[in-house]
Structure 1
Amino acid sequence: MAHDLPGWVAELTDPRRAQTLEELADRLVPLAEHAIDVSRRLQTLLNELNDPFRREALYGRVDRLKSRAAEALDEIAAEIGASGESRIEKIWAEWVERGGGAAEPDTARAQELRRRLESDVVPVLTRQQQEVATQVAARTSTALEEATQTLLTRVEELAKAVTDLIHDVLPLAREGLNLASRISALSSAARKAGRGPVPDEMKEAGAETSRAFDEAVARLELEWAALGARSATVRAALRGAEETAFSHVTTAMTRCVEDLAPDHVKVLNEAEERANSLYDEIGNG
């Protein structure tokens, strides 16, 4: 689909078509403003590109990783604790079903069972929960240290690439500002020259300035678009590095829990068996 502008647009905006000094001065002003605009947009993108690599941003990224790891560890600890509590609830429910405490939960037998559970079963479950939680925490700490180091290494590598990119593009932004200064100076000279037709010397200067503007702004606009895409890629890479680091930690947690699960379940089953033996010792009637 064509997007050509009406012919009169060029007539009113192209300095090369100016017939008078006043027209030349007026038409040069928007060119200077455009050069300044694209230069500022480039500088803004460069600043945005550099922001994630500032020291406070780096600390924030590491702190987020540690915070998320701590939250995940708390969830696992809660699940471990819940497994022991649910087993105690199951034991007590079985006692109630067997008639040991349904009607009179404060009978001597019920009190004796509760005392024996607290002395013979609960401590075993508590120790098991603490041991599992300690081992998961230790594995998590190691994984977190590894993940943090990998994250910092990746951010450092990316920061170096971004720094090189900024050094390459920054002169272009300055070029736009220098061009705007040249255009403004020519516009000012045209106004100071008074009224009347444009002298040949100034007409030639206007034409040369217009060509320089077309070339420079086209290059700057293209660089701005490319830099925007590169900036999005950098942000995505940083998010990916952070998520990968967190995944490394959670994977280590999951594997640790899987490794410890058989022994944990064994202890829970033994605790339940011990509770069952207490039924026989205390009796139901």
Structure 2
Amino acid sequence: TINHLVENEAKVILISHFGQPKEKDIKYSLKPIGLKLEKLLDKNVKFLDDCKGGKIEKEIENMKAGQVVLLENLRFYPGEKENDLKFAKALAKLGDIYISEAFSVAHRNHASIASLPKLIPSGIGFLFGREIMALTKVKQNPARPLVVIIGGIKISSKIKVIEKFLSKADHLLLGGKIANIILRVKGICLGKPWPEEDVIKIIEKLKLTDTKIHLPVDVVVSPNESGEVYIRETGPGSVRKEEGIFDIGPETIKTFKKIIEEGKTIIWSGALGMAENEKFR
């Protein structure tokens, strides 16, 4: 999309986010991403250390056709995640047309995603379009076996994905916090917190005897997420009350690996363990 715009002599202003900063923090700056992008595009990318305001507006006004500019992390401003209209309007001043390539966060109610496209003419990029085409194919006529891997920490949204794919997928491989919650509600393992009532209702409908559903048969546990006290492998039913589950175990990996190798269509959403800590990888 960027190359297409450059070739057609557009002024390309890139906006994005990185991490979960509480305030402006250099470790979440997009400057290193700009340097990487220069190598990928084989073209100069000018990095600006803010994403709104008079200084940025002037820099953009002075851009030349075909030039690429990367703005600083939108999440340095609370208005981004709060979907603040004033913040969205400040972004809208910077361009004439909005093109989204943020497929993975298109569901978020953030200013640059939900409000900005309403303020100026908008559309989607080539990659976003390919994502939609791929999902449409999966929905209508997937190559089978269709294997859906679901992990991560967003319980309320992931449980709805599981419910939706129960009738479509040949195999559902579950890990991460969503699997832990299911095991907990089904009385297989101990632990907290307890999920919301609407999540419990969906989990109660799940039949663990359903051959489509594959939950961990062994897990990696520790008293805390640092893994510094000890780490051990055990069955879900043998998790102690002071322990947390931080990864799937080796037997589960073998089972999941075999199913994935035989799959013709794979959909994967979310990590199956605490990938942030190398001890649990």
**Fold similarity call, TM over 0.5:** no
The structure with more strand, counted as a fraction of residues = 2
Instruction: Point out the structure with max Rg over C-alpha.
Output: 1
Instruction: With a CA cutoff of 8 Å and minimum separation of 6, indicate the structure with the bigger relative contact order.
Output: 1
The structure with more helix, counted as a fraction of residues = 1
TM-score of the two chains, using structure 1 as the length reference: 0.16
